Amino acid sequence: MDAPSNRIRAGDQDRERVATRLQEASGEGRLTLGEAEDRLAAAYAATYVDELSALTRDLPEPTPPRASRFPAPLRVHAAVVAVLSALLIARFAVSGAEFFWPVFPLFWLGVSLVAHAAVRARGRVVPY
């Protein structure tokens, strides 16, 4: 019977992670098409984790994605404010009113957006 190995077996997620990194490197021009194909074939055929790490050893670490300055809830809020503002202004345009009455709801819509951004900037974010 063979002696137990200290090597860790690779799983499908490990192979997919390495394959994705190799495809990204190929797209960045760091690997030729032939190199990428050879490494992808080796990644899917790998049995152990150390075999996978050897395939990406000469590639730089991927840069983590930057956090968006405007998180999704704030972008949605801004979009709602923009749509409501456009509707209010259109309603004013067809009403024939002499006084620009949408100024009041537009002001409060703007205040709500600024307050939302300020609360998020302070880190007191309510989870959605």
Q: What is the pLDDT of residues 11-64, one digit of tens each?
A: 999 999 999 999 999 998 999 999 999 999 999 999 999 999 899 999 988 777
| Residue 29 sits in the same domain as residue 61 | yes
In this prediction, residues 93-115 reach a mean pLDDT of: 94
CB of 88 within 8 A of CB of 105? yes
3 pLDDT higher than 60: no
| Residue 46 sits in the same domain as residue 9 | yes
- Identify the three-state secondary structure at position 120: helix
Q: Output the pLDDT for position 126.
A: 55
* 26: in domain: yes
| Residue 41 sits in the same domain as residue 77 | no
Q: What is the C-alpha separation between 86 and 40, in angstroms, rounded?
A: 51
Compute the half-sphere exposure of residue 113: CA atoms within 13 Å on the CB side of its CA. Answer: 18
* 127: in domain: no
* 128: in domain: no
Q: Output the pLDDT for position 66.
A: 75
Q: Return the higher-pLDDT residue of 120 and 124.
A: 120
76 pLDDT higher than 60: yes
**Domain final position from 65, 87, 114:** 65
Q: What is the C-alpha separation between 43 and 52, in angstroms, rounded?
A: 6
Q: Output the pLDDT for position 2.
A: 53
* 9: in domain: yes
- Cα 53–Cα 40–Cα 45 angle in degrees, nearest 5: 75
Residue-number span of the structural domain to which 34 is assigned: 1-65
| Residue 25 sits in the same domain as residue 52 | yes
Domain count, the chain: 2
| Residue 56 sits in the same domain as residue 78 | no
